[in-house]
Structure 1
């Protein structure tokens, strides 16, 4: 490595240590995560000019929307989200290392994007004797700049494979299954993007792997139907609608009519003016590291499509719709 590479790698390692030193205090990691983003953007060969359309290069897959490489790069601006996933991935790798009996931890990053952003700090800190990484993305225009960035930092020996493939359908090498799977391929309420299908596919093949995020929980709450004069207020939580975690993903042997089961609720009495439902997303990244409330866009409350009105006593059955436009949907049961 030349002096410039050594200097950049030393800076990356210092940033990585600063992020991890903040522990579960995600707000304390804001500065170091911003430093990480600036380093990645400065060293990246990716075209991020403002003239580009953010949607150029996105792909609609049979399992949902794979966002464009540019959109993936912009996710690095969500600092609490990035801090949580870096911390969670680090804790998952440390836990996996205890089970690996001396061999390197195998880490699969499904949807690595153009910066391999969530694992770049850990790639810098973990030697090849301790961990090896596989970087996977559906888009060649994401893999190429990520690979160049890693190489320019002198970290390419830590990556055993760069794979262009659909993480929702890829077949893993049974002789080298991952110990840790990192995939942040979702939006709020698990809508539109393929996180559920990716988790189902990968965990079915590597059921012993630790998944990051460990759990994505979607709750519903009674809420006012908004209009131009409505002041936003907290609603009344009814409970969990749907959860994605390793236990659920491996329990879903097969979907029924292209859907996965979710909860059924009875709308309580005296609900006015709380006459519609919203979905809230809480994420356990790993081992006490979580995202909730207004932490990031993944926690944005979502109304049901059309903001339907409900009446007291109605039974609402939820289900998770799979396919090219995945997401939670519902049916009002006859009564």
Structure 2
């Protein structure tokens, strides 16, 4: 049922979240309010005692998290805000180029709330932007339909599709201008962000990919110092970057197409340069550029929490480490010591 009061609250929250003068670090109350709106408008219910993995799908290309887990991801508030802001900026850029028709946004892995798109549907008219919502779980799509109807946004949605995005074939008359997805963990572990991005970018190479890039870097990090760091401080974190080990972006996807078909994607070779100061250790950190200046960096989100290199390799000081990325049921970064 359409609720005018909730529609107005959604518009107000969207305006606050998009305002660049509002620090993302101070907007958790607004994201919690947004989550409350999503929860009651979606009619999404779950037994709090059940495991968050209940309802997840293990595909041939990685793990599709459960609708419950997808709903909980909205609480990762900096991530949520940055994706909304980044998608907003990507849409504006396309609108400045295309004026003869609505911009088409394909939102992959929309979950039960379509949290990155629904706020923006209150900002852009249906004649400016049309959204296709796609998810592998029918339960999520049932909930997102409730959200769309509750906020009277059906005119902004051109299609709702229940399928595995890794195998999705884009119709010739439905090429997206923007492809947005967040189906990943830090270091691109387990979830199918890489495979799905490849499938869709190859079919729609002129589309803007959101996030624009996901970079994994090897760095020497003092986590004790970092934990004492104030997120809004201008002082630098205790990081000494040794090099980029792997990157997912539109350009890297198109470059992979030039290489022989394989379930292993080649990354970079990085040397662990010593000596390592006391308190530092080699770690892998994930940097997510949503769109241009809209980024998720160190510790801003579960997506960007550094992982010790020791979980991937027993490499020592002054050794070279060759990185690659293995596709399949459990896609993951691989690190091997080389000469």
On whether the aligned pair clears a TM of 0.5, the verdict is yes
Aligned to 1:241: 245
Q: Does 1:53 align with 2:51?
A: yes
Query: Is 1:329 aligned to 2:334, yes or no?
Result: yes
Q: Which moved more, 1:200-209 or 1:98-107?
A: 98-107
Residues in 2 aligned to 1:23 and 1:65: alpha-carbon distance in whole angstroms: 37
Provide the rounded CA distance (Å) in 1 between the counterparts of 2:19 and 2:313. Answer: 46
Would you say the 8 A contact 1:276–1:308 is kept in 2?
no
Cα distance change of structure 1 residues 141 and 76 upon mapping to structure 2, 3 Å threshold: same
Do residues 14 (structure 1) and 12 (structure 2) align? Answer: yes
- Residue 255 (structure 1) shift: 5.9
Contact 1:13-1:124 within 8 A present in 2 as well: yes
- CA distances 1:11-44 after superposition (whole Å, capped 9, x unpaired): 2112111211235732243332222111111222
Paired residue for 1:300?
A: 305
1:258 equivalent in alignment to 2:263: yes
Cα distance, 1:277 vs structure 2 = 3.0
Which residue of the partner structure matches residue 87 of structure 1? Answer: 85
Residue 156 of structure 2: aligned partner: 158
Work out whether residues 22 and 29 of structure 1, in 8 Å CA contact, stay in contact via their aligned partners in 2: no
Paired with 1:74 and 1:239, the residues of 2 have a C-alpha distance of 33
Deviation per CA, 1:80-134: give whole Å up to 9, x if none.
1100000001001111112222310100000000011111101122211111100
Deviation at 1:235, TM superposition (A): 5.4
Could you tell me whether the CA contact under 8 Å between 1:24 and 1:288 is conserved in 2?
Answer: no
- The aligned residue for residue 119 of structure 1 is 117
Cα distance in structure 2, aligned partners of 1:288 and 1:180: 17
- How big is the shift at 1:76? 0.9
Matched position secondary structure for 2:48: coil
Q: Report the alpha carbon displacement of residue 306 of structure 1 after superposing the two structures with TM.
A: 3.9
Distance 1:332 1:47, change over 3 A: same
Q: Aligned partners of 2:108, 2:263: CA distance in 1, in Å? A: 23
**Cα separation, 2, equivalents of 1:122 and 1:158:** 10
Provide TM-score, normalisation by structure 2. 0.90
Single out whichever of 318-327 and 298-307 deviates more from structure 2.
298-307
Task: Compute the displacement of 1:276 (Å).
Answer: 5.9
- Hey, what's the Cα distance between the residues in 2 that align with 1:209 and 1:307? 34
Asked if 1:311 is matched to 2:316, the reply is yes
Q: Which moved more, 1:145-154 or 1:128-137?
A: 145-154
Work out the CA distance in 1 between the residues paired with 2:276 and 2:29: 44
| 121 and 111 in structure 1: CA distance in 2 versus 1, 3 angstrom threshold | same
The answer on whether the counterparts of 1:186 and 1:194 sit within 8 Å (CA) in structure 2 is yes
Structure 1 residues 308 and 178: alpha-carbon distance in aligned structure 2, compared to 1, 3 A threshold: closer
Supply the distance in 1 between the matched residues of 2:118 and 2:222 (Cα, whole angstroms): 43
**Conservation of the 8 A alpha-carbon contact between 1:86 and 1:119:** yes
Q: Would the aligned equivalents of 1:113 and 1:146 in 2 still touch at CA under 8 Å? A: yes
**Residue 32 (structure 2) aligns with:** 34
**Structure 2 match to 1:277:** 282
Contact 2:312 2:334 in 1 (8 A): no
Q: Distance in 2 between the 1:21 and 1:306 partners?
A: 39
Distance 2:169 2:195 in 1: 13
**TM-score, with length taken from structure 1:** 0.91
Offset, 1:307: 6.1
Aligned residue number for residue 136 of structure 1: 134
Aligned to 2:218: 220
Distance 1:181 1:207, change over 3 A: same
